[in-house]
A and B are shown apart, each in its own frame.
With several copies, the nearest count.
Chain A
Amino acid sequence: MATTSSTSCPPVSREHALFLLREMLRIRRFEEKAAEMYSLQKIHGFLHLYIGEEATGVGTMQAFTPQDAIVATYREHGHALARGIPSTVLMAEMFGKATGCSHGHGGSMHFFDASRRFYGGYAIVGGGLPIAVGLALADKLRNQLRVTACYFGDGAVAEGEFHESLNLAALWKLPVVFLCENNLYAMGTALVRHQAQTDISLKAGSYGLASQAVDGMDVLAVEAAAKQAADAVRSGNGPFLLELRTYRFRAHSMADPDLYRPKEEIEEWKKRDPISLFESRLREWGLLTEADRARIEKEVAAEIDEAVRFAEASPFEPVEELLKDVSGAVKP
């Protein structure tokens, strides 16, 4: 499993380091606020938080350009933020407002932003993989040199669509980067209880695919591995399976009493909190001062407050438009 060995000379520029830290903090604070808004009943339905997994979303997203496509799951807040979708329209979406990134039709599980090639937001586990294969097929058929990033969890690996999609993408040498965020649980079911073979990266062998596993708590290791994977895919060698070994600090969703895993396990993992881990690295390397930290925290807080203000102030879609987006008109 790839990690960055802590060296004395920093492997990253101060500017980029602070950018990565800020991105992770934006996600952390956004999710904390979302949880708060859920308890205030501003947000309803299912809410799946990304807290603990920030390094995987932020690190991998550095490997993709605006021309690339992103396919994610219902646990996609972090990916949407890292992709550059404003936190305002994401919060508004969860508030069910017309200004939301999906006009309030999708909620927490179904974020979309066509302008940023963020193709959702899929809440049927495994359901996004064939979509990603198709997006990549479209690019291949038009010789467009861009890739599709496909995020999914360890639980999705058990679904038939995982198998069919990896075979199809490999068989047709399609430019897909498969990104498995292995947080060791599918809802309440531990990896060992849903996979006969728990090494997910190893499953690439069934499709003759290149793969790698990386420490998902180490944002620099994730970024490096994702860039290697994306480069391999861009070079036309077909898809790549990258397994990101991480952990969710919160329950599966706000509805989850979290009875299925020992508190000690959670505490152990929290010692490897991707944000504090990165911060201490940066301090070691002298790239982060208390002032930086305070400033970033302050700016992020302001952004999140603005997101809530925007969401609150936004209008609902008129109920008359209920049927507006079911079918389109035939263009002549």
Chain B
Amino acid sequence: MTYREAVRAALRQALRSDPRVFLMGEDVGRYGGAFAVSLGLLAEFGPERIRDAPLSESAFVGAGIGAALGGMRPIVEIMTVNFSMLAMDQILNNAATLRHMSGGQLNVPLVVRVATGGGRQMAAQHSHSLEGWYAHIPGIKVLTPATVADAYGMLLAALRDPDPVFIFEHATLYPLEGEVDETAEPIDIRRAAVRRSGSDVTLVTYGGTLGKTMQAADFLAKDGIEAEVIDLRTLRPLDRSTILESIAKTHRAVLVDEAWRTGSFAAEISAQIMENAFDDLDAPVARVCSAEVPMPYAKHLETAALPKVEDIVSAAQELISRHG
């Protein structure tokens, strides 16, 4: 099935198995979801549980927080990460703080799904990758499923969490084809996944750039460079040990992140490698990120702004040549 269908299957599974679960957001019902993720769910579960919301990001995200406090298990959809700026107050100041501010009396079992990323010529108000911002916030979790199986499994795992969980779905992944084992064991969202093992260099990525990173690894293999590819899956909490184990083996790392370079989550990973694997490193950790420009519309400019397979390949080659 596709990534889109996998998210839908997980939604259906959750809605069927737990009466507390409901889906709320703009056009999740009659329209079927801006990315057709929830298509057909309204017919099966009705307008109370597949709830079309007005254009009021702050209010319906806040309502999700309140409903979670009230014992429900809301799944809120925010159409595009840029729109989530309108709800940032509710997210940072309420969702993330209530457990602590209340001395542990309250918790907010809220799941928020957000479409993210560029590559579709949507220009400067629809194309960014702000997962790294979210990963800065104590009190929430940040998931970035990059595969069809994770799109399914991580949503179900998120619903078992007692605290707010943000799931970032890179919009270019929705048509991706893959396998889902609906009978599989629940995913441990605290673990990163090694998508390809190798001994020469570690490529660390997540979400929308996993595909490009795997392609880069194949390309490097033709060169005789065996790259290990780590899919972080979860940015917060970060599975540092998987990264460190790999670097203990490869002694080199390239971090691939679609966010703007300065202040990207890749910077955090680089800093943690610095702090915990300094003596393992044969070369400085490199980053491949997006150019620091609001996303341009024109295809050639957008392509130039986003991380490219060649960038990853040459960054890896560079590390190996420079510090052979």
Residues of A within 8 A of B (CB): 44-46, 69, 96-97, 100-107, 109-110, 112-114, 119-127, 129-139, 141-142, 155-156, 158-161, 164-165, 167-168, 171, 186-190, 193-195, 256-257, 259-260, 316-317, 319, 322-331
Contact = CB atoms under 8 A, between A and B. Distances in A.
Interface of B: 22, 26-27, 29-32, 34, 36, 48-49, 52-72, 74, 82-83, 86, 89-90, 93-94, 98-107, 120-126, 138-139, 141, 160-163, 291-294, 296-301, 304-305
Contacts, number: 270
Contacts of A96: 121, 297-301
Contacts of A322: 291, 293, 296, 301, 304-305
Interface centre among A69, A102, A165 (most CB of B within 10 A): A102
Contacts of A329: 162
Interface centre among A120, A137, A193, A317 (most CB of B within 10 A): A137
A134 B62 contact: yes
Given A135-B66, A187-B27, A158 B54 contact: yes
A328 B54 contact: no
B53 to A, nearest CB: 7
Contact of A331 (B126, B162, B294): B162
A133 B66 contact: yes
Nearest to A113: B105
B103 to A, nearest CB: 3
B52 A120 contact: no
A168 B59 contact: yes
Contacts of A328: 99, 107, 162-163
Contacts of A122: 94, 125
Cβ-closest 9 pairs across A and B: A134-B66, A130-B62, A138-B70, A188-B31, A103-B103, A96-B298, A107-B297, A164-B59, A158-B54
Contact of B52 (A112, A137, A189, A330): A189
Given A122-B94, A168-B59, A323 B291 contact: yes
Contact of B298 (A135, A141, A317, A331): A317
A161 B72 CA distance: 22
Contacts of A325: 99-100, 102-104
Given A188-B27, A324-B104, A168 B162 contact: no
A258 to B, nearest CB: 9
Contacts of B104: 103, 324-325
